Amino acid sequence: MIKIKRLYLFILQTFLPLFLMTFFICLFIVLMQFLWRYIDDLVGKGLDISVIAELFCYAALSMVPMALPLSILLASLMAFGNLGEHFELTAMKSSGVSLIKVMSPLIVFLSLVAVGAFFFQNDVLPKSQVKMWSLLFSMRQKSPELDIPEETFYDQIQGYNLFIKKKNRETGMMYDMMIYDVSNGYGYANVILADSGKLSFTEDKKHLFLQLMQGESFEDLKDERPNRGNAGMLYRRETFSEKEILIPFDATFNRMGDETMRNQYIGKNLTELVHTIDSVNVRIDSLGDEFTYSMRGEPICGLPQRRITYKDGKQVEQGILQVKMPKALNVDSVFEASSPLLKRNYVETAKTKAMRIKQNMEFRAYTIEDISETVRRHQIEMQKKFTLSFACLIFFFIGAPLGAIIRKGGLGTPIVISVLLFIVYYIIDNSGYKLARDGHWAVWEGMWLSSEVLLPLGIFFTYKAVNDSAVFNPDAYRNFFRRIFGVHQVRHIEMKEVIMDDVVVDEAIAKVTELKAEIESFLVRYEKRQSYVNYWTKGYDKSQLNSISEHLESLVEYLGNSHSQLVINKVMDYPFIRHLLMYYPINNKKVGMIIACVVPVGIIGYFVGVECQKRLKRDIKTARKVCEELLSILQDDKDDK
């Protein structure tokens, strides 16, 4: 008997209820989307509840591929967000349990879900889609439920327009009726006026039985005798006290067979899709060979390219016909020597022949394109059977680490993040699908585009969560870009109300003097701009720059305890000594020489680096000037005391 660790059991008990809840919520949402999309095909048809329920069951199964990845993303975000919010995840990490180990039972579980998703896509989904689309098309073909409104022309009965003034809904009687019978065409309409009437269905529900009382009818009669013109138009007028009309109207629900949909790409499993793709590709190759053969068989200058020999009524030999001429024929001279009428005939004949060949080739190209689209449709359906399983794993490796990072459970923040991520996934996936369907990209490129985009995101979030890195800390990104682009920073120092370590003036003067000497040493060493070779092989001395930066920050921290506002204000004038890569790009001289030899890259990097060094020297000179001014201020304070 396999015994599951208590930690793994706790993680599964935390995740599974959330997963089931979010799955059914997401499934309900996509079902509502399906309902709003096809509601016009369902309303007003008089369909039984059982038929609509059957359609929704098949639709629910067909919507699982859309609901499953979203539910995994939302459930993993909520589960690990709750663990982080209640410091349970922190307690696990402090006990020596890594995040990957915490995720391991869910990784195993969702791997099984991914395998099950593949078999669901391969075995269950084709059958459910066949049933769903067959049922939906049957509903579209059903006639609408008969409900004739008052004081409005009703045209839902084919070949008839009905108008009633008033209707008794209890007895079904209709009053002041006007009926236009245009079943024989609008040019020969039959107009019926009746004081009252009643409409009902026959027992087989394939005809309407209309009983009319106290009315009259007017009918145009078609006169087929010749030479009558408009003078002899015939019509018939009839007055009746009771009249009965039988109108064809099929109100039954005829279910469409599954054979048509089963032969489409949506109704095939992986084996059937591969077989169809191979068969259609063979057909495309044979058509291409046939078209090539026919093109090569087109006559040139009126002479056939092939010679066919028959013996006893059978073809026995076929070869390329070769015509040898004693000398080369100058076509231009023959054309110019012809009369203007012959020249025109030559041009028109050539143009007509070229247009005919072009149209013939375009038609053949359209034929091959239609067949190629069938292949792409089958290939897309085949790739879908794998992309769903992979998407489930990717969304877990996005949701679980992201929940551990944001540490927010519940339905608020996780839902917002999940919806945003899923919208991005849906847009990318739909774009890739259209590019693959239209043949702009290879099918596998389009169908795997969303996975290719989201996989690095999952790896990034997992890496950051495992190493407890600050992903949503804006200061970290701000400092990173400042280091990259050398953005200038301004110091902000406030005078402290309570000071534990007072500033000693002599010690402060000594620190400022030491920093100034170190700065002057650097400026003397790098008085001139570095040469191209020196820049790539040496650069600025990294250790000296680090020393200046450390001493400057130490001095700023020390003088920040001063009681003098003048000293505080002057200390804020010290610039930040940034540590940019462009100050000392390469530590290895050999590598630096190799980059220097790559002329375009080396020259561009050199000019950018020299500009960065120029800004650095300007900041260091500013620091030297501040040191001189601070020495003057501190000396005055010392003299005053």
Question: What is the per-residue pLDDT across 29-88, written as a single tens digit (0 to 9) for each?
Answer: 999 988 888 887 787 667 788 888 999 999 999 999 999 999 999 999 999 999 988 888
Top mean pLDDT of 220-224, 391-395, 480-484 is at: 391-395
Contact partners, residue 450, CB within 8 Å, separation at least 6: 387, 391, 425, 428, 429, 432
Task: Sheet containing 173-181: give its strands across.
Answer: 160-167, 173-181, 190-201, 207-221, 234-248
| Mean pLDDT on 429-435 | 92
Q: Confidence band (pLDDT; 50, 70, 90) for 1?
A: very low
- The answer to whether position 361 is within a domain reads no
- The answer to whether position 421 is within a domain reads yes
- The answer to whether position 363 is within a domain reads no
**Residue of higher predicted confidence among 157 and 104:** 104
pLDDT at 347 over 70: yes
d(CA 574, CA 554) in angstroms, rounded, equals: 12
Find tokens 């709003």 and name the residue: 36
Q: Confidence band (pLDDT; 50, 70, 90) for 187?
A: low
Q: Confidence band (pLDDT; 50, 70, 90) for 111?
A: very high
Q: Confidence band (pLDDT; 50, 70, 90) for 302?
A: low
- The answer to whether position 446 is within a domain reads yes
| Mean pLDDT on 458-465 | 90
d(CA 239, CA 237) in angstroms, rounded, equals: 7
Token code pair at residue 434: 């259209």
418 and 528 together in one domain: no
Q: How far is CA 517 from CA 506, 512, 559, 622, 624, in A?
A: 16, 9, 18, 14, 9
Find tokens 């989904």 and name the residue: 125
Contact partners, residue 566, CB within 8 Å, separation at least 6: 633
pLDDT at 230 over 60: no
Find the helix or strand (DSSP H, E) in which 511 lies.
helix 505-525
- Give the 3-state secondary structure of residue 503: coil
- The answer to whether position 322 is within a domain reads no
Token code pair at residue 583: 């100050």
458 and 508 together in one domain: no
24 and 75 together in one domain: yes
Q: Confidence band (pLDDT; 50, 70, 90) for 449?
A: very high
| Mean pLDDT on 248-256 | 72
Positive or negative, the Cα torsion across 143, 144, 149, 151?
A: negative
Find the helix or strand (DSSP H, E) in which 167 lies.
strand 160-167
- The answer to whether position 630 is within a domain reads yes
Phi, psi of 263 (to 5 degrees): -85, -10
Phi, psi of 44 (to 5 degrees): 80, 15
CATH of the domain at 241: 2.30.30
Bridge-based pairing of strands 207-221 and 190-201 is: antiparallel
Tell me what pLDDT residue 79 has. 92
619-638 pLDDT per residue, tens = 889 989 989 988 888 888 77
Contact partners, residue 243, CB within 8 Å, separation at least 6: 192, 194, 211, 212, 213, 215, 217
Last residue of a domain, one of 248, 282, 311: 248
Q: How far is CA 294 from CA 290, 297, 305, in A?
A: 6, 5, 11
**Residue of higher predicted confidence among 191 and 2:** 191
431 and 538 together in one domain: no
Note down the domain range covering 129. 6-141+381-466
**Residue of higher predicted confidence among 488 and 496:** 496
One-letter amino acid at 565 equals: Q
Among residues of the chain, what percentage have pLDDT more than 70? 85
d(CA 122, CA 393) in angstroms, rounded, equals: 18
- Give the 3-state secondary structure of residue 255: coil
497 and 635 together in one domain: yes
- The answer to whether position 289 is within a domain reads no
d(CA 418, CA 23) in angstroms, rounded, equals: 13
Range scoring the smallest mean pLDDT among 228-242, 283-297, 385-399: 228-242
126 and 18 together in one domain: yes
Q: Confidence band (pLDDT; 50, 70, 90) for 486?
A: low
Q: Confidence band (pLDDT; 50, 70, 90) for 227?
A: low
| Mean pLDDT on 448-465 | 91
The mean pLDDT value of the chain amounts to 83
115 and 41 together in one domain: yes
pLDDT at 98 over 80: yes
pLDDT at 381 over 50: yes
41 and 133 together in one domain: yes
Check if the beta carbon of residue 394 is closer than 8 Å to that of residue 458. Answer: yes
d(CA 491, CA 559) in angstroms, rounded, equals: 13
Tell me what pLDDT residue 252 has. 67
Query: What dihedral do alpha carbons 255, 257, 258, 262 form, nearest 10°?
Result: -140
Top mean pLDDT of 36-50, 126-140, 448-462 is at: 448-462
Check if the beta carbon of residue 599 is closer than 8 Å to that of residue 494. Answer: no
**Residue of higher predicted confidence among 319 and 193:** 193
Range scoring the smallest mean pLDDT among 98-112, 395-409, 460-474: 460-474
| Mean pLDDT on 320-340 | 74
177 and 60 together in one domain: no
621 and 491 together in one domain: yes
Q: In the chain, how many domains are there?
A: 3
Tell me what pLDDT residue 94 has. 84
Token code pair at residue 392: 């489930």
275-301 pLDDT per residue, tens = 999 998 888 888 877 777 776 666 666
Last residue of a domain, one of 248, 282, 302: 248
Contact partners, residue 381, CB within 8 Å, separation at least 6: 265, 266, 268, 273
| Mean pLDDT on 137-148 | 72
Last residue of a domain, one of 190, 222, 248: 248
| Mean pLDDT on 523-551 | 86
64 and 125 together in one domain: yes
Q: How far is CA 496 from CA 361, 443, 559, 563, 572, in A?
A: 87, 67, 11, 8, 14
d(CA 76, CA 462) in angstroms, rounded, equals: 13
HSE-up (13 A, CA, CB side) for residue 517: 6
17 and 127 together in one domain: yes
- The answer to whether position 319 is within a domain reads no
Top mean pLDDT of 2-6, 67-71, 86-90, 576-580 is at: 67-71
Range scoring the smallest mean pLDDT among 372-376, 440-444, 468-472, 536-540: 468-472
